Amino acid sequence: MDSFIVDGLAEKPTLEGEIAISGMKNAVLPIMAAAFVVEGETKLSNVPNIADVGSMSRLLEGLGAFVSHSGDELSIRTHDASGTVLEPQLAKSLRASVLLIGSVLARNGSVTFAHPGGCVLGSRPIDVFVDGLQKLGAELVEEDETYTLKAPNGLSGGEIFFRVMSVTGTEALMTAATRASGPVTLRNCAMEPEVVATADFLKSCGARIEGAGTSTIVIHPAHLTPNPEPVRIIPDRIEAASFLILGALVGKNIRITNAEPLHIEAVIETLRGMNVSISVTKEAISVSAPPHLKSTQIRTHEYPGFPTDAQAPMAVLLTQAEGESSILETVFDGRLNYTAELVRMGADIQIWNPHKATIKGKTDLKARDIDGPDIRAGLAFLLAASIAEGKSRIGNAHLIDRGYGSIEKKLSAVGLSISREQAS
């Protein structure tokens, strides 16, 4: 596997320049899945150059769609997409493959899939998807580790209450419901910007959806036709948050462009509370590292709370804050496992249970050779390497590539010494 080699700055705030935020990973993937229920050609722009987009493209092609890329534009043609089986190995490598379950079932009357994979973040059950589709009339058949959902006569209307808020569950059921025979009401829905973006895409194709961005969404039957104009993918709020944290660590003056500040208010206000200098204008978010960082308490939460995907990068920042900080992870269990590697680098971190950690600072981090276990922890290790003393090797670059396109180019552009070491 490829690795990143990073020459650390030994905590010196020298990075300056501009970083442009790409389209959102967590918006483009559900929109690509939603395009499967729209017969014809869907055009997307501002598509991020990340590995997960390639994996979703191959899944769609395995179902009979034709996907083409040109720069940051992507075309999905589904005229003859009659497939019903998600390629098992590919689906297991991509958690977002679960988004296709509702789309394929709603369009083709059947879908067969293995348990989806992706990042190892504790228990990530799929019952929220299966239960919801069964309430719309689907029948489930289990065989070994393979599941098949069938609805040969189509999905019915109905009401679904999500026992836990689920972003992908909300997106998948909302998309499937556009093909139902009657109105569908979803309650306790996720309210993230990517949910709204998926609804906006479907509405641009003729869907009748009310309430996206609130806890209750109602979908009425409608005929969908492709939007002739390219649909622009919204900015990636997690990428923007990650680079804000980088600026708080070693930024002299980093300007973050193409971002949407309203989507990361929780992160911006948290950083300001830690004494970080942040300026927000229509054109850019500017950030620089303060002489001293204040400690704080982080509690991850569904939107608009502090995002769980920014938790690992934030832990690196807390190692540089004066005093004791804490993290309470409320979304995933097992997401604090990466902190053992930060301890190896010199961090003072105490794990109390799978959801809570305390971090004492300020501590000097030393360079290490470490492997990223998932997308966000891998990015956090890059941040830790950037402030450490010495040269670090961060392995499993392919995991970081799944969520951050051309990361070494963006970091090099603001002055960080980073390079990719190809696997031999």
Model confidence over 120-152: pLDDT tens digits?
434 446 888 999 999 999 999 988 878 999 999
Both 9 and 109 in a single domain? no
When divided into structural domains, the chain yields a total of: 2
Question: What pLDDT does 125 receive?
Answer: 64
pLDDT > 90: what percent of the chain?
90
Question: What pLDDT does 127 receive?
Answer: 85
In a domain, 380, yes or no: yes
Neighbouring residues of 175: CB distance < 8 A, sequence distance ≥ 6: 30, 33, 34, 37, 99, 102, 103, 106, 198, 202
DSSP 262: G
Taking only Cα atoms into account, the Rg of the chain, rounded to an integer number of angstroms, comes to 22
The answer on whether 2 is annotated among ligand-binding residues is no
Which of 121-135, 269-283, 374-388 shows the lowest mean pLDDT across its residues?
121-135
Both 355 and 307 in a single domain? yes
Q: What is the pLDDT of residues 48-87, one digit of tens each?
A: 999 999 999 999 999 999 999 999 999 999 998 999 999 9
Both 240 and 171 in a single domain? no
Both 296 and 394 in a single domain? yes
The answer on whether 25 is annotated among ligand-binding residues is yes
User: Euclidean distance between the first and final Cα of the chain, in Å?
Assistant: 8
Domain boundary among 167, 200, 223: 223
Both 298 and 269 in a single domain? yes
Q: What is the pLDDT of residues 283-336, one digit of tens each?
A: 999 999 999 999 999 999 999 999 999 999 999 999 999 999 999 999 888 889
Would the pLDDT of 275 be above 50? yes
Both 304 and 349 in a single domain? yes
The answer on whether 72 is annotated among ligand-binding residues is no
Both 385 and 287 in a single domain? yes
* pTM value > 0.85: yes
DSSP 81: -
Q: How many residues are given for the chain?
A: 424
Q: Which residues are catalytic?
A: 119
Q: What is the pLDDT of residues 145-179, one digit of tens each?
A: 789 999 999 999 999 999 989 999 999 999 999 99
Mean pLDDT for all residues in the chain: 95
pLDDT > 70: what percent of the chain?
98
The answer on whether 391 is annotated among ligand-binding residues is no
Both 247 and 198 in a single domain? no
Stretch 10-23: mean pLDDT, rounded? 96
In a domain, 63, yes or no: yes
Both 350 and 382 in a single domain? yes
In a domain, 389, yes or no: yes
In a domain, 200, yes or no: yes
Question: What pLDDT does 303 receive?
Answer: 96
In a domain, 393, yes or no: yes
CATH number at residue 103: 3.65.10.10
Strand partners, 423: none
Neighbours of 89 (CB within 10 A): 8
- Please answer whether residues 292 and 262 qualify as being in contact, where contact means their C-beta atoms are separated by less than 8 angstroms: no
In a domain, 229, yes or no: no
The answer on whether 196 is annotated among ligand-binding residues is no
Question: What pLDDT does 142 receive?
Answer: 87
Read off the pLDDT band of 119 (50, 70, 90).
Answer: very low
Domain boundary among 168, 191, 223: 223
In a domain, 230, yes or no: no
Both 195 and 263 in a single domain? no
Both 308 and 213 in a single domain? no
Neighbouring residues of 204: CB distance < 8 A, sequence distance ≥ 6: 227, 229, 231
In a domain, 228, yes or no: no
Secondary structure class of 363 (helix, strand, coil): coil
Both 41 and 121 in a single domain? yes
Unique residue bearing structure tokens 């003056």: 253
- Full domain range(s) for residue 287: 3-22+235-421
Would the pLDDT of 118 be above 60? no
Assigned token pair, 395: 């392995």
Domain boundary among 172, 190, 223: 223
**For residue 174, which of 78, 30, 65, 302 has the smallest C-alpha distance?**
30
Question: What pLDDT does 121 receive?
Answer: 34
